[in-house]
Amino acid sequence: MSDLDHYKPLKFLAEDIEHLIHCSTHLQDGLMPVTSMTFDPEKQSFSCLINRFCWEMTEHFDHHERYFRVHSGLTFQNVQNVFKRNFHQKHPVRVLNLLMISAKKENDLYSIRMLFSGDMEIDLQASAIHCTIKDFQHPWPTEKRPIHWHEHVEEHAANGR
């Protein structure tokens, strides 16, 4: 049996806040090159590439410490404006680590927030939620699994950290 027998390319469409939360789960700890981000005001779209950690495959390889990443495309439609917070021109970050995506409706627009490590944020103002994710290459193996502090609180407390 091949390591990739359990892999099914992700192709997902989110058209409401609940589905967007599901997208966020799949994209958590994804690495996004800043140079891949594009906003097209005429087409009202924001898109980027993301080096996605394959969380859906971790249950198959927990004992082998073998994980996977895959290149995916992420696109938001109906985007009116894009606002960035804590992006510094003097010390530009080249690759962002995505922590989560959230959304709320404010008046007639949705505020779709992409939160990154380092307290960086992109806020997309959209007239409707329409987000697509699509894997477009084959996954590659990695031995590194993202570590979340809250998953190791007891371990750190026992070690006096």
Rounded CA-CA distance 17/14 in Å is 8
CA distances, 12 to each of 6, 27, 53, 65, 157 (Å) = 17, 11, 15, 27, 39
What is the structure's pLDDT at 104? 96
For 17-66, the pLDDT digits (tens) are: 999 999 999 999 999 999 999 999 999 999 999 999 988 877 655 555 67
User: 69 in a domain, yes or no?
Assistant: yes
* Number of residues that make up the chain: 161
Residue 1 predicted with pLDDT over 80: no
Kindly state whether residue 144 falls inside one of the protein's structural domains: yes
Which residues span the domain enclosing 16?
Answer: 8-158
In a domain? residue 3:
no
Please report whether residue 13 resides in a domain: yes
* pLDDT tier at 2, thresholds 50, 70, 90: low
* pLDDT reported for residue 138: 87
Enter the tokens of residue 152. 């190791």
Under DSSP, the state recorded for 156 is: H
125: in domain: yes
Q: What is the pLDDT of residues 69-121, one digit of tens each?
A: 999 999 999 999 999 999 887 777 789 999 999 999 989 999 999 999 999 99
On whether residue 1 sits in a domain, the answer given is: no
- Are 66 and 48 contacting, i.e. CB atoms less than 8 angstroms apart? no
The structural domain count of the chain equals 1
CB 3 within 8 A of CB 69: no
The pLDDT score that the predictor gives to residue 152 is: 42
Task: Please state which of the ranges 2-6, 12-16, 22-26, 81-85 shows the lowest mean pLDDT.
Answer: 2-6
What pLDDT score was predicted for residue 154?
A: 52
